[in-house]
Amino acid sequence: MPLKYKRIMLKLSGESLMGKQKYGLSADMLQHYAYQIKELHDLGVEVAVVIGGGNIFRGIQSEGNGIEEVTGDYMGMLATVINGLALQSALEVLGVYTRLMTALRMESIAEPYIRRRAIRHLEKGRVVICAAGTGNPYFTTDSAAALRANEISADVILKGTRVDGIYTADPEKDPSAVKFDRLTFAKVISLGLTVMDMTAFTLCKENNMPIIVFDINAPDNLRRIVTGEAVGTLVE
């Protein structure tokens, strides 16, 4: 099967791992994502993943509860490592070789993120999970996904969400919202649409890194995207 995208950066939110729970990890959702990633891996796609940590802890939660912002951000980074370990385990149960790489050094459970090593893992057919964000406070996991995607020369960033693309307004709140199939970076800015946080979006814009926003919960969407079907909204 011909591939449109050979190397991808998949951005998952921590909240997507909760399923119907209020917090934590859903075994069903972990399995759902693991099967989708395995399908890409079996097609020969090189897959890197960045996961958020919002299902466990958000840095913003620290405001008002006595935890300073920087400390809260580091706690959020640790939450992404927990999610990365969980996804790694779910993938390896399916026989997919996986490497968890962290921006914060914790060699007992993961490799430190080194760009050339990450690329080599991808070339060898291993799924690379990048955890702990950028390793710095004040930067979101969207920024980490944009940074790592550019570092490893990914073909595209696939941002999985609960909706099937970018709309003129929040489709969960405004039934009259209209979906875009394709947008330019300039159009996103002029319309004031939110695709990623501005730091991440600017990094993609300056490096011509395309972003596809799509519904991650539809089981065939990842396969359809990498084989060239028009799914979600493409920003380029």
Categorize the per-residue pLDDT at 208 as very low, low, confident or very high, splitting at 50, 70 and 90: very high
The predicted structure's pLDDT at residue 61:
59
112: left (phi over 0), alpha (psi -120 to 50) or beta: beta
pLDDT at 12 over 60: yes
117-174 pLDDT, tens digit each: 999 999 999 999 999 999 999 999 999 999 999 999 999 999 998 888 899 888 878 8
> Rounded to the nearest 5 degrees, what angle is found at the Cα of 204, between the Cα atoms of 157 and 202?
140
Bridge partners, 12 (sequence order): 51
What one-character-per-residue DSSP string does 114-174 give? -HHHHHHHHHTT-EEEEESTTSSTT--HHHHHHHHHHHTT-SEEEEEESSSSEESS-TTT-
Fill in the amino acid letter for 196: M
Domain ranges of the chain: 7-235
Bridge partners, 60 (sequence order): none
pLDDT at 207 over 60: yes
52-108 pLDDT, tens digit each: 988 888 655 555 677 888 988 999 999 999 999 999 999 999 999 999 999 999 999
Q: Calculate the alpha carbon distances from 148 to 24, 141, 200, 231 in Å.
A: 25, 10, 11, 23
The predicted structure's pLDDT at residue 62:
54
Element (H, E) at 197: none
pTM exceeds 0.85, yes or no: yes
The predicted structure's pLDDT at residue 235:
94
User: Structure tokens of 151?
Assistant: 């570092």
Lowest-confidence segment of 22-31, 55-64, 148-157, 225-234 by average pLDDT: 55-64
Residues 204, 230, 162, 88, CA torsion sign: negative
User: What is the CATH number assigned to the segment(s) 7-235?
Assistant: 3.40.1160.10
- State the average pLDDT for the chain: 91
